[in-house]
Copies of this chain bind each other. A is one copy, B any other.
């Protein structure tokens, strides 16, 4: 019954959807987030302005839809069995993501916008690509039954330094991700080791 009403009228144009997402992605790289306008996206995509507004409310939404899949993929790390090596690989992937990737540029712009736009903040809260990617590794290390809060705290410890480094515009070459991975690995080992014994930490 609902299907009937859903199929009424002209269906959404997949061509228009893809053109908008591509245009947004291109414009972000070419002119930057601030100079990106809905008008510019529509014109570049060869699409009416109304068509953009019909499906997305803000340029943030467009950008998120355009980059979320790529981001997820770029931050995936295959399991090797060696925890510290995995962590190092992950932090390197994160560095490349934040400093060189298209999707990463979109993510940085969105996090930036979220600092003064609650709507964007809410949007990102539902699409925690960066947190998700870290939790995959960390739950392998700490066990699948680890509670969410412990996982999040570990995530912050792992990602935080790299995140801070790049968000405050520091030179990517000067950050020693290997040392961070080792430190984090040692910390995790302590935690999972003691978890059987006393479990006094946090």
Contacts and interface: CB of A to CB of B under 8 A. Distances in A.
A201 B175 contact: no
A157 B109 CA distance: 23
A1 interface: no
B32 A116 contact: yes
Contacts of A34: 113, 116-117
A18 interface: no
Q: Main secondary structure on chain A at its contact with chain B?
A: helix
Contacts of A195: none
11 contacts: A112-B115, A112-B116, A114-B169, A131-B168, A152-B170, A156-B162, A156-B164, A159-B164, A160-B163, A163-B167, A179-B201
Interface of A: 32-34, 108-109, 111-117, 121, 124-125, 128, 130-131, 149, 152-153, 156-157, 159-165, 167-170, 174-176, 178-180, 183, 187, 201-202
Nearest to A174: B149
Given A149-B174, A157-B160, A167-B167, 18 more contacts: A32-B116, A32-B117, A33-B116, A34-B117, A112-B112, A112-B113, A114-B169, A128-B168, A153-B161, A153-B175, A156-B160, A156-B165, A156-B170, A156-B180, A159-B160, A161-B161, A163-B167, A164-B164
A179 B153 contact: yes
A33 B117 CA distance: 8
A46 B128 CA distance: 43
Contacts of A180: 156-157
